[in-house]
Amino acid sequence: MQKRYNPIRLKLSQLIVGEHDAPNRVAVPCPLEKAARVGLLFAVSSDSDLADANNVYSQLTGFKAGVTALGYVPNRKELSAYQQQCHFNLFTDADLDFLYRPKSGLVADFEATAFDILIDLNSADYYPTRLMLHRTAARFRIGRFAERQPFDLMLSIDDTKDAKYYFEQIQFYLKKFN
C-alpha cells in the first residue's frame, strides 16, 4: 500500500531539498561475489515485508560481504512489533523532520557507508527512502523500475512476484558484470 504524504509539505521538500545525486558520482557495477559492503534498504508495511527482508538479508550474508540493512516503517506505531522480528535497524515517521527527511543517526550512518552495492527492496515509492537513495555513498544502486528513481540498475518486475524472485533476478544480472 502506498503511503500518502501531505502534498504541500512534500512539494515544499522537493523544492527545498531536491532529489540530486552527489556531484561527480560514478556508477561502478560489481557482482555480489566481489562486493565487500552491501546495503539493503526496505520498507515494512506488513509482516511479509519483514520476512522478505530477513530472507534477502540472510542470503546476502552468504556472499561473505559485510551487509548492513535498514528498514523504514511508514507509520509511528508499529515499530516495536517489527523490531522484535528482525536483527537490523528500523526507523519510522517519527524519525522524519517537517520536510520528510530522515533525521536519525542510524540513517546518517547508513547514507555515509560506501557500499559496493545498495539494494532497494521497496515495491512502493516512499519519499524518505528515495531521498536516502539519492544521498547515499553507494557505488551501485539497484531497485525496481519506476519513474524518478536514482538506480543504476532498474529491474522491471511484476508486483505480484515475491522478493525471492526479485533477488534471484538481481543475482542473475549482477553476475553479468565481471
Asked if residue 157 is part of any domain, the answer here is yes
Q: What is the pTM of this model?
A: 0.88
Per-residue pLDDT of the chain (178 residues; tens, 9 = 90+): 457 788 888 888 888 887 777 667 788 898 899 999 999 999 888 888 888 999 999 999 888 889 999 999 887 666 666 666 677 888 988 899 999 888 889 999 999 999 999 999 987 778 899 888 888 889 999 998 877 678 888 999 887 888 889 999 999 999 888 6
Number of domains comprising the chain: 1
Q: What is the CATH number of the domain that holds 149?
A: 3.40.50
- Helix H or strand E encompassing 13: helix 7-16
Please answer whether residues 101 and 131 qualify as being in contact, where contact means their C-beta atoms are separated by less than 8 angstroms: yes
Range of the domain at 61: 26-174
In a domain, 13, yes or no: no
> Quick count: other Cβ atoms within 10 Å of Cβ 58?
11
Distance in angstroms (rounded) separating the CA atoms of residues 38 and 32: 8
